[in-house]
Chain A
Amino acid sequence: MGVIRKSWRWFESRTGIARFIGPVARHRVPKTGKMGWFFVFGSATLVAFLMQGLTGISLATTYVNSTADAYPSLQYITDQAPLGSLVRGMHNYGATAMTVLVGVHMVRVFLMGSYKFPREVNWLSGVILLVLTLGMGFTGQLLRWDQNAIWSVVVGAEQAGRTPFIGDWLGHFILAGDTLSGETLSRFFSLHVFLLPGLIFVVVSFHLYLVLRNGISTVPESGQPVDPKTYHTWYRNLLKHRGEPFWPDAAYRDIIFGVLVIIAIIALALVLGPPELGRPPDPTIIKADPKPDWYFLWYFSILAMVPASSESFIILLFPFIIGLVLILLPFIANKGERTPLRRPWAVAIVLVAVVAIGVLIVVGQEEPWVPQFDATPLPQTVAGPNPSPSIQAGITLFNQKGCLYCHKIDGNGGIRGPDLSEVRSHLTIEQIKVRVLTGALNMPAYGTNLSAQELNELLAFLETRVGNKTPRGSQ
């Protein structure tokens, strides 16, 4: 025991580490009471980031950064390596936790007005961390290097390609060449494993420094607006008379919540397992439906639903505008009331954003805009018992010509186009004929794809799709 104490004293005399950490850990912070539980999300995000570091380093000991071998190495990690499935699952749900927590932390800071004077730069560094976290999510998804990943790289390059003047150059920069190649994976690997975590480490350090320098914000109270002229005096007096040491009076909450985050990540990894690997990466396999992980699913949905004419503007301007608003926020509203009770617009903005993102994620999962290539073909009985040969031929054509991919009939088929179960209740047969021949914005014109006989057979089938309503334009 004496040796240990002696060694510690020797170490301390050479480093001063305890004298350095002690005062920092015990610096005074405002008393927050039970509301202090709202202040744990920042440290929990850091815990999730540390978990990502740990699990990421361990995965990197086995993952092979090679376009030919990355996929089999991930199969090995998932299916054979001892605890590989668990660690890969932890890395996946750690990413989810980090993204969710950085969002929740940001919402808390926004709603409680904690970004106001003198913490404007805290907020700005947090915005950078949000961007870096999303960057980690995107690059991490690509390291799965399955069919979904390689096509996601292509989609990312095409999106970047919409940038005026340098789009083509930028698109090929993302691909690390003229096409997908041996260098593409290495580019994303270096970003995910070296550059982005390094930047996160630097910005987190700066963020923590600012938390120490500017102090933790107080629980907002009505009628206690931020006034930059008097804030520092007020805050200093508050710490003096109603403050408490961060360690352990406030830190215990961060530790408890941080441990709960770790438990949740491990539990999710154990129960749900790691994300499924898609088909092997092969650009010559045409069957692919690239879709981002949930962090970007809402944006994916927006791009799928906006009119094509405005798409390029939204691809480029939407992230730019969101970023600009987040950056300008602490400059245009850095004083005044902090409590959400006196800032209804702040509450409304958060509610609208959360609901919109949630709805768009659900829609993105369903992908109603995607033709349903695997729809179950309509049975001949869909037109009732004993349909005529002409109607039977029409049903076959409906299945074969791709109508079924986008139109539902009696529960079968895609939902990109309108449900045609009762199409004759809405349109006359002439109107249907015109639509089939000339198409529409999202429907090809079948004028050259159908013979006159095929058209008549298809119409004979659709003629049977009658509901209770009278078709428009009918006599």
Chain B
Amino acid sequence: MACEIIQTVFIISVITGFLALLLVIAEALFVNYGECRIKINGKKELVVQGGGSLLSTLNDNKIFLASACGGRGSCGFCKCTISSGAGPLLPTEKPFLSEKEISDGVRLSCQVKVKQDLSIKIPEEIFNIRKFRAEVAKITDLTYDIKELTLKLVEPGTISFKAGQYVQLESPAYEKSRQSVQRAYSISSNPYQDDMIQLIIRRVPEGICTTYVFDYLKEGDKINFTGPFGDFFIRETEADMLFIAGGSGKAPIKSMIEFLDKIGSRRRMVYLFGARSTKDLYYTELFREYEKKLTNFSYVPVLSQPSEECEWKGRCGYIPPFIPEFLRDPVNTEAYLCGSPGMIDAVKKALLELGVPDNKIYFDSFA
């Protein structure tokens, strides 16, 4: 009896598998969606061959939505609003979308197939996003687990970005990864150096992209990235600025400080950098130089666990208790935070309690 059941299940599985395979082959061979039109933001119109995913179709037309998983439906980054032609919402999209997003027509572009004319909405800044080819000009060890990459642009030769934005670096398939992946890293150089970018990358244990960068990538190699992305950038006001970062969160803040130096800003700026011990500190001399160059800038490293041997004479503990010391006028202060989600949560809570308005707290969380 058991044998018959197993046999029946096996036969049904084989038939189902065969039919599914037939469907895939038939779709590839015979289904022709023909030309479809994608209307973007009610203005621009693309005429494309139907059949591909919306994400890949847009990519083919040099419109790059953020994506960390290469279109496998597992990162949830490639959202866009589709007002017509998308078909029903798929179960693979639901976990990434809130109720409001679903009612607003937000979809994952990698899961939507272009089968008919579509009307979509994407932020205007997406049109500035390009795919870049670059040469690794320099790799510098900043700490035991953080490296700085200097990438000289090859094609296109220049980039336009705002200090604080990030790019998606692409690691190719290599010995330890069967596929190419993309990961987000903030640009640490300033926008005036438009023929290169610098990134600060911390090793992630078992991470596919950081293992590639740390163990395989060499100076002189070529690498691809897409960008710039993100809305973490300096607001053009005269408010005091409080920068708070930890670990590799220094990258966008470095870009911002360098930019403010280039434009000769006289805004009051304080930069609190949190680390565990002295071996986690880097760029200290660089920011000491900025203290001399910028009239209103202070750099304050804070260590949570300085070892006894290092005779650390700076501030010890976590950042939140030190914030009041540097907060002159909470209502007239903008806070720019970058670091681990735990740090962002703790610092944001402290800032709100001290009276910094919620809408003046900008952050780039590692999450």
A-B interaction: no
